[in-house]
Amino acid sequence: KVLVDVPHSELAEELAQSQTKIQVLQDTLQQVLDRREEERQSRQLLELYLEALKNEDSILSKVAESETVPRKEMDVVDTGTSSTGSSAKTALSDQILAALKEKPAPELCLDSQDLELVLKEDTQALALALRWDKQKAEALQQACDQELSKRLQQVQTLHSLRSTSKGKKTLP
């Protein structure tokens, strides 16, 4: 770096070489420095990518687990709703109801499973359970639906990235 920063004439005089040779030498040194910086940045990017893949794997495994579990619970919830008639109390736990009441954006703090339960809940029963009017309960369900859609899109994007990266690994 020091050799690149020194003026051509001083370095040429010190090394007893022509200024054109010194210019070529400095250009070559600068190219080496640039290449090293590019390699460093590439390594950092690769490390970030590998870390993202690890995170994706853990997210996908959690999503896979949650996709199998909610279906069973939803069946139970659906049967429970038709037989008891008080869906707000049977489908939504006190913890979910507390989060819905207390949080300014509860759809962001609930997991996907809970969001699905809120969406499947009858709007009138939800409004009664929360002591809200029907419009506020509908708005909450719409926000939960949007958040759930956003999460699904993120998972699909991760799947797409994974399949793209797997495809690149198999190339020669």
Ordered by start, the domain boundaries in the chain are: 8-65, 94-167
Using the predicted structure, report yes or no on whether residue 79 has a pLDDT greater than 70. Answer: no
Place 24 in a pLDDT band, splitting at 50, 70 and 90. very high
**Average pLDDT of the residues in 139-166:** 85
Degrees (nearest 5) of the Cα angle 83, 86, 89?
120
Using the predicted structure, report yes or no on whether residue 27 has a pLDDT greater than 70. Answer: yes
Tokens of 110: 């609930």
58 or 29: which carries more pLDDT confidence? 29
Note the pTM of the prediction, 2 decimals.
0.44
Q: What is the pLDDT of residues 95-143, one digit of tens each?
A: 888 888 888 788 888 888 888 888 888 888 888 888 889 898 899 889 9
CATH number of 94-167: 1.10.1490.10
CA–CA separation, 87 and 81 (whole Å): 5
> Which residues 6+ apart lie within 8 Å of 124 measured at CB?
134, 137
| Cα dihedral 118, 124, 125, 127 sign | positive
Note the Cα 122 to chain centre separation in Å. Answer: 31
CA–CA separation, 22 and 29 (whole Å): 10
